[in-house]
Amino acid sequence: MIPNARTKKISHKRTQLLSQSTVGDFVLIYRTFIVYRRNWKVIAPSVILWLAIIICACRALQLEAMGASLHEYSQWFTAFWVLTVAHNIMATRT
């Protein structure tokens, strides 16, 4: 299925938004790593959560590009945002 111009525009906006959030989450991990004097044990849970965030973002964008139904890919977007909020709370309270 070839996506129309509107779908490409939405996909581009979502791709940009998910990419910015993912990079921002990495910056939080790096900041925590520096603040805690390069202690890997402190950032290990954040890194695992960050990898889950990347997986959710990739799967959501893949389903949207394939033309899946709104219900199918919105679950992945929701999981992405829930994990992102959880990661931000965890990284700023560490």
HEC readout, 26-88: HHHHHHHHHHCCCCHHHHHHHHHHHHHHHHHHHHHHHHHHCCCCHHHHHHHHHHHHHHHHHHH
pLDDT value for 94: 56
Using the predicted structure, report yes or no on whether residue 9 has a pLDDT greater than 60. no
Candidate from 5-9, 43-47, 49-53, 78-82 with smallest mean pLDDT: 5-9
User: What confidence score (pLDDT) does residue 49 get?
Assistant: 95
Q: Is the pTM here over 0.85, yes or no? A: no
